[in-house]
Amino acid sequence: MTIEKIVEQALQDGYLTPAMEAEVGRICDTASELSIEEYMALDRLMGALLTGEVVAVPRKQFINVMEELVLTEAISRVAEIEAASDTTLDLGDIAAYALNRLPPLYATTEEGANFQRDTARGELADLIAEQVRQAIARNLDKPEFFPERQTIQKKADDSVLNQVSSLLQDHAYKFETTDKK
């Protein structure tokens, strides 16, 4: 999609979605030079955003509560096994295996997350424990035929400064920067 079409859509709808915002950023980052039409479209978009004619839809933050419940269970079980033997288990593999066999429990608010936690502890605790047990058994039984496998790495540009900048952009979207000279 072109910048012009994105701006036209945003002006028509009255909002700029995170996907549209990302596409504008991608186009601007990858283009060595923007055409005069693209600059004019960006100028129209900025003006519409400043006047409120177009609003940027905030990025919705969410979590999968099941991840923390599985990790809590897995850490506890792995610690017991590693303390009682010379076995080293892969916590990431164990958690991923169990999570792939459990329902996600997403929440967008603290209240929702607390509700999901309470519900899961009451209704899914046995299922979580069983999936973690199966994941540990599988991890203990895995052959060493992939010694060259590579774990998922952070992006090279994932410095603390970039992480803080990203966090601020996600949580402080209502604030504008002003130059005071």
Residue ranges of E strands in 28-164: 55-56, 63-64, 106-107
Alpha-carbon distances of 88 from 62, 91, 92, 151, rounded to whole Å? 32, 9, 12, 16
pLDDT tens digits, one per residue of 80-104:
998 898 888 888 899 999 999 999 9
Q: Report pLDDT digits (tens) over 20-76.
A: 888 888 887 777 788 888 888 888 888 888 888 888 877 668 889 999 999 999 999
pTM score: 0.54
169: exposed, middle or buried (C-beta count within 10 Å: 0-12, 13-18, 19+)? exposed
CB atoms within 10 A of CB 113: 18
Q: Give the separation between CA 63 and CA 81, rounded to whole angstroms.
A: 29
Helix H or strand E segment including 15: strand 15-16
